[in-house]
Amino acid sequence: MSRFDRLFQQLKAQNQGAFVPFVTLCDPDFDRSFEIIETLIANGADALELGFPFSDPLLDGEVIQAANKRALDAGYSTAACFELIAKVRAKYPEIPIGLLLCANLVFVPSQTQFFERCKQVGVDAVLIADLPVLAAEEFIHDAKQQGIQPVFICPPNADQATIERIAELTEGYTYLVSRSGVTSAENQQNAKNLDNLVERLKQANAAPILQGFGIAQPQQVKDALKLGADGAISGSAIVKIIERNLDNQAKLVQDLGDFVRAMKNATVL
């Protein structure tokens, strides 16, 4: 059983949903990024969703774009990100780790090498933001060869055929996008048909559903669970805490801990 599968089984037994934070690796630098991840886990994160800094992010709004730039400007590369994941895995052998990144980082120099490296450092799942589910076979084959669970996004306008294909191919967790557009803590307007999407995903036996985009307050976590999602992902709100405390790591850690505890507390059903 995978770490994600085990996590959702345990949370269900405890009558809880999952809270999963997203951060960009090596933002603002390697050592501070590791301390940030330590803080997330210490304060209740059930799993991690991690991004690699990239010069042309696809779904990211201004806040996460800035995080990418900070890491890149500091000289950190894909190699450094894998090194950081290995350090996290060594300290936290049970925490599920998913990656959310763009295809260019996977297919250069080759997807085979990428997934081999994922396995070596202890990654559990990979979501390629710009890989359509209709063109996923090659990616899925190489991922599964290395024991990596493929994850796909369910957009708010997904038709029934897309939902069924996502349910068929996705493992670990299903990423349900709350709304159209890019990531942002400010834009918290959910699509009107999310409850219908959740119901149809469940009818198709999809992997556990994590709702993301615009999740910035504990009440939104509760609302996601009320819709039938199995948990929530928060990224921009967390990265904003990092951004406004770049000159004060102690305050960053304190504010981040407070935020994660509040979000995790909201998952108790």
- Contact between 184 and 205 under an 8 Å Cβ cutoff? The reply is no
Long-range contact set of residues 104-108: C-beta below 8 Å, sequence gap at least 24 = 104/54, 104/56, 105/52, 105/54, 105/78, 106/139
Q: Which of 46, 49, 142, 243 is catalytic?
A: 49
The CA radius of gyration of the chain, in Å to the nearest whole number, is 17
Helices 111-121 and 137-145: angle between axes, nearest 10 degrees: 40
Q: Which of 27, 60, 142, 243 is catalytic?
A: 60
For the chain, how far is it from start to end, CA to CA, in angstroms?
25
Helices (H) and strands (E) counted in the chain, each on its own, are 12, 9
- Contact between 145 and 123 under an 8 Å Cβ cutoff? The reply is no
CA–CA gap between residue 25 and residue 52 (Å, rounded): 6
- Contact between 55 and 68 under an 8 Å Cβ cutoff? The reply is yes
CA–CA gap between residue 215 and residue 220 (Å, rounded): 6
Give the distance from CA 102 to its chain's centroid.
13
CA–CA gap between residue 61 and residue 83 (Å, rounded): 26
Query: How many CB atoms within 10 Å of residue 134?
Result: 9
CA–CA gap between residue 37 and residue 41 (Å, rounded): 6
60 catalytic per annotation = yes
Q: Are strands 48-51 and 153-154 parallel, antiparallel or unpaired?
A: unpaired
Indicate which residues carry an active-site annotation.
49, 60
